[in-house]
Structure 1
Amino acid sequence: MPNVRTRLLAAALAALPLTSSAAGQAVYVGGAKQVQAARVASDSAGNRYVAGTVFFNSGYDLVGADADIFLTKIAPDGTVVYTLYFGGDGSDELRGMAVDQAGRVYLAGATGSANFPAVNALQPRLSGGQDGFLCRLSPSGGFDYSTFLGGSRSDSAYGVAVDASGNAYVTGETASIDFPVTRGAFQTTTQPPDVFRSPSDAFVTKVSSDGRSLLYSTYLGGRNVVCIGGSRCIPAASREAGLAIAVDAAGSALVAGRTNSSDFPVTAGAFQTACQCDYFSSDLFVARLDATGSALVFSTYLGGRGPDIVLLEESLGAMALDREGHVLLTGAAWSLGSGASGAPFPTTPGAFQPRLDYTGRVPFVTKLDRGGGRLLFSTFLSGKGTGAGAGIAVDDAGTVCVTGTTSAADFPLRPGSFSRGGGFYAQLDRTGSTLLFSTLLPNGFAGADLAYGPSGRAHLLGPAGYLSQIETPAPALPPLLGVANAAAATVTGRIVAGELVSLFGASIGPDSPQGLRLDPDGKVATELGGVDVRFNGRPAPLTYAQLDQINAVVPMLVGFGEVLVEVRRARRVTASLKLSPALADPQIFPNGSYAAALNDDGTVNGPGSPARVGSVVAVFATGLGWLNPLPADGEIVFGELPRAGLPVRVVTGDGRHLPVLWAGQAPGLVAGVAQVNFRLELSEAILPDTLSIRLVVGGVAGNEARLAVAP
């Protein structure tokens, strides 16, 4: 997107919005674009704000995706007030957002663009290879100010908060010895780099309400690290980053982040004054600065130490303050199962899950008292699988709402929940002892961020751009929890004509599983167990249906505007969602941990039957887009096979292009399931046991899949 500095769309994106039911509201933000939604917030009027990174020119064959910032404001009724895209020629990333009660939006992140928009800027030019940035936008979406924030080396802003006067508080990470700090601030110098070491500190910066001056700005970090290991310790350096920030009613900034410094500044009487960290691992920290930024009110470590053979990096996902000023944290910490060595992450007796018989990084929820001296509660929130908390909020009654990701099949659930997926949403009571509600959610639907809004609603954001509205006193999920390419199983807001998709929802399908059946014309039926799916009114062939999932084929003539997806039971709409059509979304079907592929001798590709160099391999996929000639919806295709209408390439993980011999409809399968034949032209001298490949269709890259290969 060269030389394009800003884009402002006053109208709704094609994929917005939809109210799904009275029980909850789900909308999709992003249209047909590839987005990474990162932050959600709400204001006192009930408007919701979603911000993140949007990728232009994201085809696999490009040197790098052009990443810009997006911000969407959604009115209480679900209509879009505005959508804004902005950035420069380089890569820009959104990492923090706050909204004041006037509806002004504060955004923070990192940019490598020299022409990133600078408006009424405190620092109008890029100082290093990467700087932080801070922007404030008016209620209508225009820039009040936009500024770089950094020194001559690499800097990133990770979090932003705002006080009642409109002053902005920013935290992040800096490696610059000339980062802009102010006289009298708590820490005005940092450790300089040398030929071996490149240390970094956290920073905390307060910017005036007009964006024109620094009210204070300080480093926050230590200098010494523990390292035992001989020559591998030569580059040992302190590494700190402020990852989240909040401000209390008195104007004191609360900062949380990570550190590996043994001398990080902590205060007497703090909860944890010694670091369970070294050069190869880190602890979390929580610190409160006074209103002038010149002194610490308190500062504490928070962390444990994993098994000796593992490099431990505890991570912070989010922080929130309750009405009393206590600090709520979530992220990932080490659980130590029976017999595991190390120092356990601090939990409290009586908490929901003070111990977990599993060794690995799992989500945690911790409540630290406002003085930083004790834990009010601290608990794991997981089953036997890895994961991380990503968003946290607290309602007026003190109920703690948290979202994140998990791989645990036995994640603790509550009645009425959805029982599959890699995301989760949970509610704990104010004491952290009782799990009030918990559900898994499809990959991509949740796990990015969480905000609490008026009228007792939690706003749940997924990285794919889905935004859900859930009542906190009586949680109920939206009926339709996203639509995914069936080969990828991660929900997005994009669908492709002829694509085999999976629809997810707690009770969208028939009571008992139903498999594919043919209608009297020999086509795949459009109704299973009394349930059917329509795309802009067109019936979709159904290949499988059960209570919480329906697999359907998007009609070939789905159209080019927004697409209304409706699930019906006995011809009555029970769930719906608006999505955007895309030209392609090529995803290779999996077969265990390998691609669904046939070798040229007819064997299924895998470790026991690898493809040979020079042979022809066939992979099976969906989402290649329109076919020529166009088959009928639900047709089982034999005879002359339609070809892919867009260029199809097979690209290896290291960028090599393998010659494609055929790309189009797979014979004997429902229209929309594709087969791509290609020749394995590789050098035997550098041949691995497995080869990563992906399809690129019309410049759109799909998932990465593995092939077993041999000379």
Structure 2
Amino acid sequence: MQKRKNERSARLKAVLITYIIFVILSTILIPITSNTAKNSTELRITSQLLENASSLGQGPQNFSTYIGGSMDDMVYDVDVDDQGNVYICGSTKSSDFYVSENSYNDTYGGDTDCYVSKISADGSEVIWSTFIGGPQSDLANSLKVLADGSVIVCGESRSVSFPTTEGAYDESHNGGSDIVVFKISSDGSDLLFSTFIGGSADESTSDLDINSNGIICIAGTTAAADFPTTGGAYNASYGTNVDVCIMELSANGQNLLYATYLGGFDYEDAREVEYTADDKIIVCGSTKSVNFPVTASAYNDTLYAGTYDVYLTKFNSDASDLEFSTFIGGSGDDWSYSFELCESEDILVHGKTYSTDFPLSTGAYDDELTGLTDAFLFKISKDGSTMMTSTFYGGDGGESGGSVSIDSDGRIYISGITGSTDLNITDDAMQKNIKGTYDMFITEFLPDLSDITYGTYIGSSGTDSAYWSCIDCLGYFNLVGYSNDIDFPTTDGAFNTTHNGGRDVVVIKFPRYPITSDPFPFLIVILVIAAAFAITVLLMIVKKRKKKKSKS
């Protein structure tokens, strides 16, 4: 009898120990899997978000609004301050484009004017908005908000009387279209500096960035053999046709610190420029020049003759030489629109391609060109020598790229314009079907580009295009583009819910929601532990029966 009691007690102890192990493992593993999910975020734009702003909860609200006048208005860039206020710039043909009282300039100059506008974090008001320009064509293409709320803008102007400031680097228009760089005060009431940069032929500009010392880098193009280059520049000689030009301007706008040509004997454009963490310059664009400068260790040093390829170029520390320069593309035309520096310092390039043989990585999300053109994402190593991952994204009607952003979790967001009826859209999309001839698209990719986690159309019954986007310090996704129809989705309480005429600017802000915890990882953990518990008990029963048989 005592022996049986001892055996029963031993079995109970074993079961109790197994149960305790089960509880301990569950306590450790389940929160780990839960927190892994909760610490990540992903893009989510629901139909309710753009139907009723009041349902968005506390904090800076999500919004969608028109901004514009009775004629065509375009937007080219967006930036956000640390309070969530949104800054945009572009061009307008509308004399009735909204400008605020006490702005620097409330009078339309003529033809096409630059505008710069500051929108409240909740989208309910335009805090300030101003024209800047002369009687000819003027465009504002890129802007950056400084810590004090002032705004640096670059663009281009054909107006001899475009406003400049005393002591600026160049107060006189040089001919054709000149690059302009100017700074607006934090309240939009004053022009702190404004300068021309250019030669006797046409210049244009696309982007600017500001380094840790406040130096302003501008990327553009020039057709001028007398474009002002500086001593020690990488290339002081004009090629032919149109070359890229890269400039550095002092923080006060008074000195041209650096200027160089970049190009071959055919056509180039420049799309985006960024400083690295150590203030080296990277620029991307497209080129048709087979002799565009590339480096020996580049990923690809050969251009398909007669076509456009993407180029990606990084200068050395003093910009006197190239650290690397490479082509990216296939046998058709390939165009870059933007790039983003990853945390690893690898570089993610976004654009559109006509090439069925565009270079793709094994396991790419989409390895087939679906329409005449598809958007692409191409990640290259930080030294420009190796393709890391690459994929198409598109449908039957063709896509054109806009911009690319990367969040703190490494997730990748692209936006642009699509005419495809069969674009890959997720079940929780805000808009699952194309509404007009062309709609905006927004897509979120996993960091390795193996799959999308969100995809949606956004649009009206007309033509809509997403042009640029950014993720702000509060975690909101900010998108700008244009719409030419009355039924683009706007939110209650937004600054302007009514289309004004022609092409209107649209500004959208929405959050990146925490990922809903997937129940399957939890179930797997529980099932594994439960199975271990069951197997342990089963083995004990089997062992007991064997002992009984051996005794009998």
**TM-score, with structure 1 as normaliser:** 0.57
- Letter of the structure 2 residue corresponding to residue 377 of structure 1: T
- Does residue 286 of the first structure (1) align with residue 320 of the second (2)? no
Within a 5 Å distance, the mapping from 1:286-685 to structure 2 comes to 286-306=312-332, 312=333, 314-336=334-356, 344-356=357-369, 358=370, 360-417=372-429, 418-419=431-432, 420-421=434-435, 422-443=439-460, 446-464=465-483, 490-491=484-485, 502=487, 504=489, 578-580=496-498
- Distance in 2 (CA, whole Å) between partners of 1:112 and 1:122 is 18
What are the superposed Cα offsets for residues 17-65 of structure 1, whole Å, 9 maximum, x if unpaired?
A: x95641732222225553112211112332211111111369xxxxx97
Using CA pairs below 8 Å that are at least 6 residues apart, which structure has the higher relative contact order? 2
- Count of residue correspondences: 426
Contact 1:31 1:580 in 2 (8 A): no
Contact 2:205 2:218 in 1 (8 A): yes
- Work out which of the residue numbers 114, 137, 143 in structure 1 matches 2:184: 137
Instruction: Quote the offset at 1:208 in angstroms.
Output: 1.1
Contact 2:66 2:498 in 1 (8 A): no
Task: Indicate the SS of the match to 2:474.
Answer: helix
Contact 1:283 1:301 in 2 (8 A): yes
- Letter of the structure 2 residue corresponding to residue 70 of structure 1: Y
- Letter of the structure 2 residue corresponding to residue 264 of structure 1: F
- Work out which of the residue numbers 259, 267, 273 in structure 2 matches 1:217: 259
What are the superposed Cα offsets for residues 626-678 of structure 1, whole Å, 9 maximum, x if unpaired?
A: xxxxxxxxxxxxxxxxxxxxxxxxxxxxxxxxxxxxxxxxxxxxxxxxxxxxx
Instruction: Quote the offset at 1:324 in angstroms.
Output: 3.0
* Map of 2:301 onto structure 1: 273
* Map of 2:206 onto structure 1: 158
Instruction: Quote the offset at 1:276 in angstroms.
Output: 1.8
- Does residue 174 of the first structure (1) align with residue 218 of the second (2)? no
* Map of 2:135 onto structure 1: 89
Instruction: Quote the offset at 1:363 in angstroms.
Output: 1.1
- Distance in 2 (CA, whole Å) between partners of 1:215 and 1:22 is 47
Task: Indicate the SS of the match to 1:455.
Answer: coil
Within a 5 Å distance, the mapping from 1:69-88 to structure 2 comes to 69-78=114-123, 79-88=125-134
- Letter of the structure 2 residue corresponding to residue 93 of structure 1: L
**Aligned CA distance change for structure 1 residues 134 and 504 (closer, same or farther; 3 Å):** closer
**Structure 2, gaps ≥5 residues long:** 1-51, 97-108, 504-552
What are the superposed Cα offsets for residues 164-201 of structure 1, whole Å, 9 maximum, x if unpaired?
A: 2211100111111111111111101113xxxxxx5111
Instruction: Quote the offset at 1:585 in angstroms.
Output: 7.3
**Aligned CA distance change for structure 1 residues 56 and 66 (closer, same or farther; 3 Å):** farther
Task: Indicate the SS of the match to 2:417.
Answer: strand
- Work out which of the residue numbers 234, 245, 249 in structure 2 matches 1:203: 245
Contact 1:367 1:378 in 2 (8 A): yes
Instruction: Quote the offset at 1:115 in angstroms.
Output: 0.6
Task: Indicate the SS of the match to 1:56.
Answer: coil
The RMSD of aligned alpha carbons is 2.5
Task: Indicate the SS of the match to 1:360.
Answer: coil
Task: Indicate the SS of the match to 1:215.
Answer: strand
- Letter of the structure 1 residue corresponding to residue 361 of structure 2: T
What are the superposed Cα offsets for residues 461-517 of structure 1, whole Å, 9 maximum, x if unpaired?
A: 1224xxxxxxxxxxxxxxxxxxxxxxxxx435xxxxxxxxx4658xxxxxxxxxxxx
Task: Indicate the SS of the match to 2:373.
Answer: strand
Instruction: Quote the offset at 1:579 in angstroms.
Output: 2.9
Instruction: Quote the offset at 1:400 in angstroms.
Output: 0.9
Structure whose residues are more often helix by fraction: 2
- Letter of the structure 2 residue corresponding to residue 305 of structure 1: S
Contact 1:100 1:166 in 2 (8 A): no
Contact 1:29 1:72 in 2 (8 A): no
Contact 1:369 1:375 in 2 (8 A): yes
- Letter of the structure 2 residue corresponding to residue 364 of structure 1: F
- Distance in 2 (CA, whole Å) between partners of 1:269 and 1:436 is 35
**Structure 1, gaps ≥5 residues long:** 1-17, 59-63, 192-197, 224-237, 307-311, 337-343, 465-489, 493-501, 506-564, 567-574, 587-711
Contact 2:412 2:446 in 1 (8 A): yes
Question: Higher Cα Rg: structure 1 or 2?
Answer: 2
What are the superposed Cα offsets for residues 531-575 of structure 1, whole Å, 9 maximum, x if unpaired?
A: xxxxxxxxxxxxxxxxxxxxxxxxxxxxxxxxxx86xxxxxxxx9
Task: Indicate the SS of the match to 1:463.
Answer: strand
* Map of 1:262 onto structure 2: 290
Contact 2:310 2:336 in 1 (8 A): yes
What are the superposed Cα offsets for residues 285-308 of structure 1, whole Å, 9 maximum, x if unpaired?
A: 0011123111111111111112xx
- Letter of the structure 1 residue corresponding to residue 497 of structure 2: L
Q: Using the aligned pairs only, state the percent identity.
A: 27
- Work out which of the residue numbers 38, 41, 54 in structure 1 matches 2:76: 38
- Distance in 1 (CA, whole Å) between partners of 2:499 and 2:440 is 25
Instruction: Quote the offset at 1:377 in angstroms.
Output: 1.6
- Letter of the structure 1 residue corresponding to residue 479 of structure 2: L
**TM-score, with structure 2 as normaliser:** 0.72
Contact 1:181 1:216 in 2 (8 A): yes
